[in-house]
Structure formats: structure tokens, C-alpha cells
Structure 1
């Protein structure tokens, strides 16, 4: 991060992804999928999972269990995986560095906040409950709230509608390539975190920082 950069004006709204953005859950998801894959004789590699991180669970389940399953079977296996994942998170929640302070700062400056996650709403609710930030968000959307997941922009467009704001009034904070592409397709300024990808992979974002704490340092928080 360039310490000489001009302070950045806080927007009217910020839309957060959750996995890799609010909570560092990559390892929890990977371990849950790996356990599921072993039932089908598949050993999920970190490299393969990295490419899929940020997409709907049905995509990873299909990779592990095969594409000859019915939609009901895929949904059932995806639900089993999420139960495994939530058990891991319940005992070991890891928030990204500075995210609580960033959220408090944004709220304190009148910024409206949303979560737009490809994860099930139960996963989102668990993280918010454990972190004690469930009351800080005006809008919360999960995979059940859209018909098409990221990189389609539907979830971000719906977030804008529910926030009552235009694309030019908001930021998206993301970590995945799918999420960045969805934000840009929605016409929204995108801040990318390097929590799950190297900076060289995040060139489609408008701004790249390592962690929420680094973004907080860049904000113009001078009293008006």
C-alpha cells in the first residue's frame, strides 16, 4: 500500500462479500469439501479448490461427486458439506484483520452496508453471530436470494436495489475473481483483498489492499 496516496472518500454504501472478506474461511471450506470428496474416492487439491472458491457449493460438489447426479442429490450433498463447514467455523472463527474496525468506521460515517455472499444464508448468519456484527448490516443476501451466482452480477444488482443506491454510490469489497468480475459487471467500484489470491491475479479490481485494516488506513475519516 502506498502511504502517500490521497485519502479515499467513504461512499454512501459498501457491499461486502463474506468468505475471504469478512471471515477467513478458506481452510474451513477446503477441509469440509475434502472430507466430502473422499466419500467418492476423490482427493481435492488446494489448487483445484482455489479456482472454485467463491462459487456456489453445487459446482464443487459436481466436481467431486460427478455430473450424473440429480439436482436433489447435489443439493443434499451440498447441504451435508455446509454442516461440516459450520462445525469447523463454530470452534474456530477467523475474522480478517481489521474488519470489525472497518465496519464500525463505515457505520459511524453513515455508510449503508450489505452482505452479498455466494454462501447459504445459514453460513452468513453464523459468522455474523459469532463475530457479534449481525446488527451492522442493512441488507444480507445469500445464495438462496439469486437465481445465478457470481460472476453473474445479479446479487450485487439486487443489493443496490435493496440499499436504495446507485452503482456509482457504492463499493464492493471482494476477494475472489468471480466476485470481482460480478462487481465490475454491475458497474460498481471494486476493492479486492489479497486474502485468497495474489495481487497479480486481482488486476480487474479498481483497488487492491491486503486486509480490511489496510483499507481503513486509506479512508478519509476527517470530521466534516
Structure 2
């Protein structure tokens, strides 16, 4: 069996895939040389985002274990956090023989079962601005909104689609229906801004994350997997939602965060996930996306990423052909299970 290398780093430091050998200083932790891994062979200094950080490379001549368990055991023995591993000379992106570099979450429907909160916020907005199509106050019922939110991604595009189909409305913003692109954009922007504030009020009233989300994020973080959130919603509402639901510390530790304002094209266009892969510095086929809808699945697959579905009551009947797995929620789903999906499910073919 070929010898393998295990790279460990201090919890407060980062690690890079590219290493430049230097003399080791300061000395490696004693726990590494006395933990039974084998002998210390070299020290290497990394440059990550303009900062220097020190890692120790330990040679393991025997078989310590496999996958997540091996890294957990080694981290426990060394007293350090494990961020990347080289197994049989193949870089494993954070895990021995695993192929997961980044875990990417959608927000609405995945982190929070939020669609009815959005629907209520829209209806409060239409009422506040007296938005009427054909002299009838616009009101999106649950059945209609389930179809709408699974057809059109993003808040502004939803209203544009609806008004384009049903006629541009009268309102307190414009007494007559807007005809120019400028006036229509002003109306949409005004409605969306007010709706976002109402949505925040509803979030503040006691919304909670869906089962398993925080546990899975924390497990991925502890194993060195990059974390991202990509949402089609307005940035201010997503930031507010995530800081309230994830907590300020978890939110600030995200390696990438993109909202609908950050990309020109909304889901099901794959652009947001392509940009995320670029920002994370990872290959799309080493990313796993967690979505709740067909729109999200199409966006992830279009970016060349595998996708797991955590469906909601409004998306449970959709055709999720092409997904790596389907769950009612993420409760009880471990990172080890997701890694297995990465290793056994073919990547999307572009």
C-alpha cells in the first residue's frame, strides 16, 4: 500500500492546496509525533489570501481508518483541526478518498420553509399600495403561489411575469398602469422594497430553520468543507434571514454568499452556481447543492453540480429526475451520507 500524507493545521489558520516547502518553525505539536501516525517528515508553509499559515505533514504508513472517521480520529488525537488530506498522492478535497469540496445551500425552502411567508408579504404589499389588475386587488392564494414560486425564481421576476400576463396594474405608486420600462421598473422596485420589509417582520416573529440544516453546516465546517448560500431572493432579505436563523457567527463564516441581486439571470439559469464555484475556487463537479424545487435542481445541474433535494409540501410532487437524492428534510442526514452520494452519483453532463 502506498504511503499517504495527512495535512493538519492549527484551528485558527487556513490551508491551501499549493505548498511551498520551508524549514519547519515553530516545531510541530508533540501530539502529532506521539499519536501513532508515524514520523514527522516535513513542514510546509502555505499562502492563503495573502496570509501565511503553518501546516505539518505527517506520514502514515499504516491504515488509520477511512473517510470522515479517519479524519475525526486524527483530529482528536492531534488536538488540531483537519482541513485537507492527500491519500495515495491524490488530493481529496478535505477527505480521504472523498470528492466533496463545497456544500451549497439554497435559502428559501431549504434553510427556511419560507414560501408562505413570502406569499403573505406580497399580499400585504399589494394591499398597502392598492395594486389592482382589471380593477381587482391582486391577491396570491396558496395554490397559485405554489405554482408561481416553482415557475419563476426571484421576487421581482415573479411580479414582472404576473403583470406581463395579467396586465400592468394601477396602484398608489402610479394611478394609471405604467407603460414605460422606467415606470414599470420603479413600480416593481417600490413594491419589492416594501415587501422585503414585511418579510423581515414575519421572520422576526419566530421563524426557525428546517430540521438538520444547522447540524449539517456545523459538521461540514468542522471537516473543512467550504460552505455557501445561493438564493434568488433580494440580498437584504436573505442577509436578514440568515443572520437571524443561522446566527451572526455562522453567517460570517460562509465562504460564499450570493443573492438574486448579484447575478443577472435568476434560477433556473445556472449562473448563480457558476459564479459561486468561481468565488469558492472549486470545480463544479466537486460541489453539492441542496435545493427544494425543480427550478433549483435545473440551475444546479446546469452548472455541472450534483444536487440533493430537501423538498417541501409545495414541491413534493415535482419531478426531481437527475437529483442525487430526495429527502423530506435534512434531519438525521449526515455529511458522510452526502459524501457517499458524491462518490456514487455521476456528475451532471454539460
Question: Which category describes the TM-score, using the shorter chain as reference length?
Answer: 0.7 to 0.9
| 1:17 aligned onto 2:136 | no
Q: Does 1:182 align with 2:296?
A: no
What is the aligned partner in structure 1 of residue 147 from structure 2?
51
- Provide closer, same or farther for how the CA distance between residues 21 and 51 of structure 1 changes in structure 2, counting only shifts above 3 A: same
Q: Which residue of 2 aligns with 1:201?
A: 319
The answer for the alignment partner of 2:229 in structure 1 is: 115
Q: TM-score, normalised by structure 2?
A: 0.57
Report the Cα distance in structure 2 between the residues aligned to 1:140 and 1:194, rounded to whole angstroms.
Answer: 22
Post-superposition Cα deviations, 1:162-202, rounded to whole Å, max 9, x if no partner, equal 00001111011111221111111111000111124115532
The alignment partner of 2:308 has SS state of strand
Contact 2:291–2:311 under 8 Å retained in 1 = no
RMSD: 2.3
Deviation of 1:220 (Å): 5.9
How far the C-alpha of 1:117 sits from its partner, in A, is: 0.5
Gaps of 5+ in 1: 1-6
Q: Which has the larger radius of gyration?
A: 2
1:79 corresponds to: 193
Q: Report 1 or 2 for greater relative contact order, CA contacts < 8 Å, sequence distance ≥ 6.
A: 1
Map of 1:106 onto structure 2: 220
Which of 158, 161, 164 matches 1:60? 158
Q: How many residues align?
A: 215
The correspondence of residues 152-171 of structure 1 with structure 2, limited to 5 A, is: 152-171=269-288
8 Å contact from structure 1 (residues 199, 208) kept in 2? no
Quick check: 1:146 aligned with 2:263?
A: yes
1:37 positional shift:
3.4
Query: Whose helix proportion is higher, 1 or 2?
Result: 1
Structure with more of its chain in strand, by fraction: 2
Distance in 2, matches of 1:166 and 1:36, equals 41
Q: CA deviation at 1:49?
A: 1.1
Is the deviation greater in 210-219 or in 103-112?
210-219
Distance in 1, Cα, partners of 2:206 & 2:167:
31
**TM-score normalised by structure 1 residue count:** 0.87
1:58-95 CA-partner distances (Å, limit 9, x unpaired): 13323268445411211111111111111110112221
1:96 corresponding residue in structure 2:
210
